[in-house]
Amino acid sequence: MSTEQHPSSQDTISTDDSSEPVVPLITQKQAQRIHAPARNMIISMAVMILILIPILWLTPALTSNKNHYNPQVDLDSIAYLSSQEAGYPVAAPEIDGWRYNFARWKSRQADGINFWNTGQLTAQAGYIELVQAQNTNPTWIAQRVNNAPVQRTQEVAGVLWDVRIYTPKDGEPTISYVGTVSGTTVILNGQSSEDEIIQLAHAVIAYEKNPTKTVEPTPSSGIQ
């Protein structure tokens, strides 16, 4: 004997698709709290942009390249003061048609090796950096030439220079001349013709034999 069972009200499943989704109701204060983080983020970004604009505008060095010419380099004063700090006449030769775009004494180095550092724009639109220091070591030199290996040696004005060439994946190669001049290590890093690097090597050797920027620059000395 079969008995027919009818689903109870609890077992009934509604399939009415016409029912509308329930929309949660929130107060005005709750809505303000939800939108506050996004609004605060937009305000913060606007403030940061307003701060960065004058900084970028007033700091052209951030966008200039190493070939930017700085006419304000006071080579005489900087070389004199650096020589006093170094304890030896730093190499500061001047070549006709060349221009210094920076000159500085780098002190308080972590490795204890302070050094003289300059950059020059050559007559042929090349660029050569000079680094000079005392009491150097092979590790320090390797760091200054991007660990480029020695390719050959070259004699210039009685000084034997190690010639190294660093070729990056993107960009032009850098030729480095490393030599000992007047008891100091001199490194010439050039993105220039090798002839101009040799020209600067000659000028450095000649200058160190007769350094001219050893008198304090004053009106009475004639050095301005």
> What is the domain range of residue 82?
75-217
In a domain, 29, yes or no: no
Q: Which of 24-28, 79-83, 86-90, 144-148 has the lowest mean pLDDT?
A: 24-28
Please write the tens of the pLDDT for every residue from 31-88.
666 666 666 778 777 777 777 665 544 444 333 345 555 667 899 999 999 999 999 9
Looking at the chain, the whole-number percentage of residues with pLDDT higher than 90 is 58
Backbone region of residue 96 per phi and psi (left: phi > 0; alpha: psi in -120 to 50; beta: other values): beta
For residues 157 and 208, the answer to whether their CB atoms sit within 8 Å is: no
In a domain, 191, yes or no: yes
- Count of structural domains, the chain: 1
In a domain, 196, yes or no: yes
In a domain, 56, yes or no: no
Q: Is the pLDDT of residue 10 over 50?
A: no
In a domain, 89, yes or no: yes
pLDDT at residue number 171: 83
In a domain, 2, yes or no: no
In a domain, 150, yes or no: yes
pLDDT at residue number 45: 78
Here the CATH number for the domain that contains residue 135 is 3.30.200.100
Determine the Cα–Cα distance for residues 106 and 149; give it in Å rounded to an integer: 25
Dihedral Cα 166, 169, 173, 175, nearest 10 deg: -10
In a domain, 20, yes or no: no
pLDDT at residue number 31: 60
Helix or strand run (H / E) with residue 179: strand 174-181
